[in-house]
Amino acid sequence: MRILAVDDKAVPRRALVRVIQAAVPDAQITACASASEVIALPDIETYDVAFVDIDMPGKSGIQLARELKSVHPSLNIIFATGYGEYMADAFELHSSGYLMKPILAEDIVEELENLRYPLANELPDRVIMRCFGNFEVFLDGRPIVFERAKTKELLAYLIDRRGSVVSLREIEAVLWREQSEERPSRSYLRTLVADLRHTFDACGHGDVIRKYYGEIGIDAKRVFCDYYDFIEGDPRAIASWNGEYMSQYAWAEPTKAYLTKLLLQPGL
């Protein structure tokens, strides 16, 4: 588990690191004294949890949390503060927890046992798809890099279809619907499909992609996805809903509307 400990004051920061170490001795902990130190980290997407002080000079912990959520939507942010008046802001940000100082090791343990987002090492056999916010794909806690942006968008559409097999003609109509540029050739679409299959073969998960003659789909049972869990009524997925769904793709708006409507139904 990779954990951030953020506090501008040296003594509370060292105390926070000590209680985290006592609670999870095998954790990899990075201590930072300011929001700018955190944002400068080159591998922020690989962290699982961030314990963040709120009352910091310059950029507050609330402001930092907003920035972190924009680049790493599935980061579990736990506020560590001596003030109770920021709870509403923390709730609005869909934080994972809110601890009042002084913090004890048992407080850390309890929070880590009830994280909003599952840890990558808890999901050893499946790729993780994050649809709430921007669409992102992770394996072992690290983002999967695609050679082409359209390859990633193709995967996003297949995830949106929840395992249904779709034709290349349908993919062309959807992925280029909002664009004025010339429609791609069929050979380019086949290149995207080949790129997608190669990407998953290279990371040892080639069985996620289901390819047929002129059609393609995904095996929904072989991925972890917040969108799928939400539809199944999983409490953690419902709690993680932030009102955004695959924000970078205009064609995803109907699904966003469906999820918003679903949330209003009794019993969800």
Q: Which of 41-45, 86-90, 149-153, 217-221 has the lowest mean pLDDT?
A: 86-90
Q: How far apart are CA 140 and CA 82, in angstroms?
A: 34
Which tops the pLDDT comparison, 81 or 20?
20
* pLDDT tens column, 197-245: 999 998 888 889 998 888 999 998 888 899 998 998 877 778 778 899 9
User: Model confidence at 99, in pLDDT bands (50, 70, 90)?
Assistant: confident
Quickly list DSSP for 132-148: BSS-EEEETTEEPPPSS
Q: What is the pLDDT, as a whole number, of residue 154?
A: 96
Q: What is the pLDDT, as a whole number, of residue 268?
A: 53
For the chain, give every domain's residue range. 2-112, 127-263
Which tops the pLDDT comparison, 258 or 120?
258
Residue 170 exposed, middle or buried by CB count within 10 Å (0-12, 13-18, 19+): middle
- What CATH code is assigned to 2-112? 3.40.50.2300
Mean pLDDT of 245-251: 95
Amino acid at 98: Y
Which CATH number among 1.10.10.10, 1.10.240.10, 3.40.190.10, 2.60.40.650 corresponds to the domain 127-263? 1.10.10.10
